[in-house]
Amino acid sequence: MVCQRLLQSDDWQKLTDNSKGIVFTASLLHDIGKLSTARMVDNQLTSRGHSQRRPALTRLILWQRNVPFVVPEHIVNLIRHHQVPFWIFERNNTDALAMKISQTTSCYLLCLLSKADAKGRIAPDVDDTVNNVKLFSKLARSLDCHHAPASFASFFGRLLIFNDRWQLPAHAPYGDFKCEMIIISGLPGSEKDHWIKQQTPHLPVVSLDALRRTEGIGPTDNQGQIIQMAKAEAKSHLARYQPLVWNATNLTFDNRRSHGELALRNNTKPTIVYVEVPCGRLGHQNAHRQHAAPENVLKKIIENRWDVPAPFEAADVTHVVQSPEI
């Protein structure tokens, strides 16, 4: 129904072929998490929790098919946010949320997907929901982020705005950074260590894998002690204004945000480097590492906790993505 409503929309024919492919794929996959979370509760079928699984499952499917990196990220974030226009005006931070969405996907395409989703439902409030999508479209236009990402006076200002520490996108806040902390992000076997050796061989590295081996703690054991040891090691470097690299998978927003806040509290510029290799190479590279991640652990990460860093998560975010050999 969603795909049918999308193809019937007046705006469909106006889209470029690339935009059509992105928004149509998003409409196909927007409820993909329901199958894996479906269960019977009190004799009723429910898929509670499917919205949390949608982004990682969508990314996995497209990564396995060697779809170029930028395209899956647009699709994943369309799916992640496709219901936001339904309820955004129940929030107090509507402007910031709209600008935040624009950093990872097109608000214009999001409105097309959201409207198609609303019209494809059998519900008494379809007209009200469609009207909310139209209001979201007007909001994005007023913020100049309908067809392009919202602009900010500085990367640091963008970071603070989306951490509720700044409210003036047209003005750059003062940042008295003493040093930099590079937060590495990527799946096990994605050549994070190789990037560090090539790009930052002169910097100290806080490595969770190294700490686990030193302490004899496995990747499936409780990681609380390792995290605290890593933070203590990082703080000792930052207290001396020593730049450093934080090396771990860091594949969830909450993990990266915690490290970024640690940096900011110590007058340190947080930056993120995300490293990715093609699907066909990852398993081989992980299996042939000296300290390979167990297959069950890797599978769990990919299917449940794989979230690519967004541009607003640090003062600077770099995606180092290797293209597949076709």
Task: State pLDDT tens for residues 209-240.
Answer: 999 999 998 877 888 899 999 999 999 999 99
How confident is the model over 101-124, as pLDDT tens digits? 999 999 999 999 999 999 887 777
| Residue 107 sits in the same domain as residue 195 | no
Sequence-distant (≥ 6) Cβ neighbours of residue 169 within 8 angstroms? 99, 150, 151, 152, 153, 157, 158, 161
Residue 201 DSSP class: T
| Residue 137 sits in the same domain as residue 224 | no
Pull the structure tokens for residue 220: 């499936």
Q: Which residue type is seen at 1?
A: M
Number of domains in the chain: 2
**Is residue 16 in a domain?**
yes
In 48-128 the beta strands, taken as DSSP E runs, fall at none
| Residue 19 sits in the same domain as residue 134 | yes
The yes-or-no verdict on residue 262 having pLDDT over 60 is yes
Which residue, among 69, 44, 45, has the nearest Cα to 59 in the 3D structure?
69
How confident is the model over 249-261, as pLDDT tens digits? 999 999 999 999 9
The yes-or-no verdict on residue 173 having pLDDT over 80 is yes
CATH number of the domain where residue 189 is located: 3.40.50.300
- The mean pLDDT value for 240-249 works out to 96
| Residue 24 sits in the same domain as residue 108 | yes
| Residue 307 sits in the same domain as residue 199 | yes
**Is residue 293 in a domain?**
yes
DSSP string computed for 279-307: HHHHHHHHHTSTTPPPHHHHHHHHHHS--
3-state secondary structure of 206: strand
Whether the CB-CB separation of 234 and 262 falls below 8 Å is answered with yes
| Cα-Cα-Cα-Cα dihedral sign, residues 150, 151, 155, 159 | negative
Query: Residue 207 pairs with which residues in a beta bridge?
Result: 247
- The percentage of the chain sitting over the pLDDT mark of 90, rounded to a whole number, equals 66
Sequence-distant (≥ 6) Cβ neighbours of residue 74 within 8 angstroms? 22, 104, 105, 106, 109
How confident is the model over 74-96, as pLDDT tens digits? 999 999 999 999 999 998 889 99
3-state secondary structure of 100: helix
The yes-or-no verdict on residue 297 having pLDDT over 90 is no
| 38 Rama class: left (phi>0) / alpha (psi -120 to 50) / beta | beta
| Residue 196 sits in the same domain as residue 70 | no
| Residue 185 sits in the same domain as residue 90 | no
The yes-or-no verdict on residue 40 having pLDDT over 60 is no
Pull the structure tokens for residue 181: 């902390």
| Residue 312 sits in the same domain as residue 263 | yes
**Is residue 157 in a domain?**
no
| Residue 145 sits in the same domain as residue 187 | no
Pull the structure tokens for residue 215: 């302490």
Residue 93: domain span: 2-151
- The mean pLDDT value for 113-142 works out to 91
